[in-house]
Structure 1
Amino acid sequence: MPKGPVKGTQIKGSRYYFVEAQGKARIWHKLTKVSEGLPAFYRALAEQMVSIANPETMPAAVTKWCTEVMAKHADKTQIDEQRRANDIAAAFQDFAPREVETPDCYEFLKQFDAMARTYDAYRSQLRSIFRYCEIWGMRPAGSNPVDAIPTKGYKPRKRYITDSHLRRIKIAGLYGDDGRVNPSGLVFCCITELLYLTGADVSVVVRILEQADPAQPDEPHVCADGIMLRRDKTDGSSRPVIVEWTPRLRAVVARLLAIKDEQRKKKRPRRVETPRLITKVDGTPMNYEAYSNAWQKAMKRALRTGKVPPTMIRDLRAKAATDKDDDEGLQAANHLLDHTTQSQTASYIRRKKARRVKAVK
């Protein structure tokens, strides 16, 4: 029987289960369906753990944080946070929240010394967990043990994806290792194209609807003027952005609609119908995990050619900002990325060539 994403979980049939040991007996707690995705699984697991955890332990505090705080974050953010939460709960499993001191936290973070971004992510989450422990009365107020630990800080990425690199990555995703076209290769290419043309996050693009849903007017959707997008922001500052039609944007949306029509004609058994623009081969909605896995495989093939440097998904957003800045200026790039300030957008701009200016006189 296949194991689940987290220790102690199993996949049985089409559903995740948490298996609790009680002596020689094994109690199977039903969680979510595999098709619902990892964010739903993590939320269900956190709720299940709350019901059986000892409230005086750090694992219980971490579980409570996941249920009450993490659950409000975007799906992609939750995936990363839950992975870190599992590591934190395991490292401090023998502690009560009020017993953890600064040296304990520093010792835990030292394992990430060589990875500044990872170090800061764990530090930030650990600090948030202890802040809420204070709010919930699990620690004295003002006693956060992470406050005294400085952040690492890291240099911003300077990677710029050229048009040639982007084309090669899409080709690597279109064909498998055997040289044949992947069943989902065209969908991968279309998503990659949409990420670049819109400058949006994967979690937003995969949710685009074929048309507006009156019950969910804020959901990303195709409209008469282009594609309406709204970023997932926990502070509620996200504004709707309509990325207006261009020939290239129309072409990729038309291609995705054609792919869905072709899938419907095949009349696969148990096919799932969805209003989402982007679907998997079986008709189920595309999600971040599926695209991320496809990206990793495509990058491995692209790197073997020696003509594409290591590239991350988020570099597509930087390319969108950089090209928009070159063509229309920083303000246009700021509107595309939906940043509160232009300084935020400026951090995404990757200078691919020297700027040209006239002499003073």
Structure 2
Amino acid sequence: MPDMKARRDLPPRVFPKSGRYYLVVADGAKRVWKPLTRESEGLPAMYSALAQILTDQIADDRMPALVSAWEREVMPRHTEKTRRDDKAMGKAIADGLVEFTAGQVKTPDVIEFLSTYRDRPRTHNAYRAHLRELMRFAEEKGYREPGSNPVTAVRTMPTPARDRYITDSELRRIKVAAMYGDDGRRTRSGAMICALLDMAYLTGQRIGDLLSLEWAQVTDKGIEFKTAKTSSRVLVEWTPRLQDVAHRLRELRKKRRGFAPQVFTTQDGDAYTYWGASTAWRRARDRSGVNGCTFHDLRAKALTDKEAREGMGPARAMGGHTTETQTADYVRRKTATKTRATR
């Protein structure tokens, strides 16, 4: 037990114990003893150490420090693509709210920060969601009162539904551009990127699930995907075209120097990163002259074509969706819906 008589001349929450001064702070239901200095060093040294700790605590609830703490503690649980987006948005938030502590941020401050993105609804909503998560984290850390999240009152912006459908001709042009560079020569990564595009279309899976696909998931019955977003499993059964893609990938694997378990790998045999694959996609798309489409639109193309040939049920199964309403968000209407006149 601390000597209470020796305690009388000390600042609040500072106690002597076993020849050393400690600052006692609460961590939930626990009490944490933070060492300051030895008693033999005297009170001035103790006060100096205490001031440094208190200064650091004050700095910790500043927005840049909050962003850094969130990125250390929460962000590692996210996927590679999400972490990249997290870092970019975190930097913008830290820079934009650098003068604020977490407790000082109010709803008007959030609205002012987000006003930069009002001409880009999807970006606006992404930053709103990230800032809301940071404020939740601030509550968890004790920097804000529970239930005081200032982002809650800020409305999301309506986003127009995407209706971009990549035609078969456009996809062929993108694949040709992936195979040949601006100089007309074959690219080193072209064959692998073309296989990735074919796999994306034939299976309807997200780019993250394609890049994490391992050879152990390629079975006699088909390819079993583990979807990171919904934690569901989708077995895409073999078709002649899908088997051809798998054969091409096996042949490419034989030429690689490494032996990563992933299906899609670089020339060195390392697993493709999201940014490596997406950069190759963008370059091929730009060389092809096909505009206004994203890699994710290949998933929409796959589900659209699946629905047109087999109906909404099989398209829902391919998409790994719980409801057909979710699948309907991906289905692009290539032609007008046909109907008869009233009479």
Q: TM-score range by the shorter chain?
A: 0.7 to 0.9
Is residue 280 of structure 1 aligned with residue 273 of structure 2?
no
Instruction: Name the SS for the 2:148 alignment partner.
Output: coil
SS in 2 for 1:228: strand
Deviation at 1:65, TM superposition (A): 2.0
Corresponding residue number in structure 2 for 1:148? 153
Q: Normalising by structure 2, what TM-score?
A: 0.80
Shift of 1:75: 2.1
In structure 1, C-alpha distance between the alignment counterparts of 2:323 and 2:69, rounded to whole Å: 34
- Structure-1 separation of matches of 2:287 and 2:127: 31
Deviation digits for residues 88-143 of structure 1 (CA, Å, limit 9, x no counterpart):
11212221100111121111111111111101100111011112211221101221
1:309 Cα offset (Å): 3.1
**Structure 2 equivalent of residue 252 of structure 1:** 245
Aligned partner of 2:105: which letter? V
Match for residue 6 of structure 2?
none
Alignment of 1:116-131 (within 5 A): 116-131=121-136
- In 2, Cα distance between equivalents of 1:335 and 1:54: 50
Match of 1:291 in 2: 277
Deviation per residue, 1:202-226 (Å, 9 max, x gap):
1111122222xxxxxxxxx201111
Letter in 2 for 1:230: K
1:320 maps onto 2:302 in alignment: yes
2:146 equivalent to 1:109: no
Give unmatched runs, 5+ long, in structure 1.
Answer: 1-50, 212-220, 264-270
| Candidates 224, 233, 253, aligned match of 1:240 | 233
- Count of residues in correspondence between the two structures: 288
Q: Which residue of structure 2 aligns with residue 137 of structure 1? A: 142
Match of 2:64, SS state, is helix
CA distance in 2, matches of 1:197, 1:71: 31
Match of 2:100 among 95, 98, 105: 95
Query: Which residue does 2:223 correspond to in 1?
Result: 227
2:259 counterpart letter in structure 1 = E
Instruction: Return the alpha-carbon distance in structure 1 between the equivalents of residues 190 and 58 of structure 2.
Output: 44
Question: How far does residue 358 in structure 1 lie from its aligned partner after superposition?
Answer: 6.6
- What amino acid is the match of 2:225? L
In the superposition, the TM-score normalised over structure 1's length comes to 0.76
Amino acid at match of 2:239: T
Residues 155-174 of structure 1 aligned to structure 2 (within 5 Å): 155-174=160-179
Return the letter of the residue paired with 1:115: R
Give the unaligned 5+ runs of structure 2: 1-55
Which one has a larger percent helix, Structure 1 or Structure 2? 2
Task: Name the aligned partner's letter for residue 286 of structure 2.
Answer: K
Aligned match of 1:355: 337
CA distance in 2 between counterparts of 1:142 and 1:110 reads 24
Q: CA deviation at 1:293?
A: 0.6
Contact 1:203-1:287 within 8 A present in 2 as well:
no
Q: Distance in 2 between matches of 1:76 and 1:282?
A: 21
Match of 1:204 in 2: 209
Q: SS at 2:94's partner residue? A: helix
Letter in 2 for 1:302: S
The alignment yields a C-alpha RMSD, in angstroms, of: 2.0
CA shift for structure 1 position 146: 1.2
Do the aligned partners of residues 360 and 291 (structure 1) sit closer, same or farther apart at CA in structure 2, a change above 3 Å counting? same
Q: Name 2:189's counterpart in structure 1.
A: 184
Matches within 5 A, 1:2-13: none
Contact 1:53 1:60 in 2 (8 A): no
Identity among equivalent positions (%) equals 41
The AA in structure 1 aligned to 2:253 is K
Kindly state the Cα deviation for residue 70 of structure 1 after the two structures are TM-superposed.
Answer: 2.6
Quote the offset at 1:52 in angstroms.
11
Alpha-carbon shift at residue 336 of structure 1 (Å): 0.6
The AA in structure 2 aligned to 1:322 is: T
Matched residue SS, 1:243? strand
Q: Return the alpha-carbon distance in structure 2 between the equivalents of residues 97 and 65 of structure 1.
A: 12
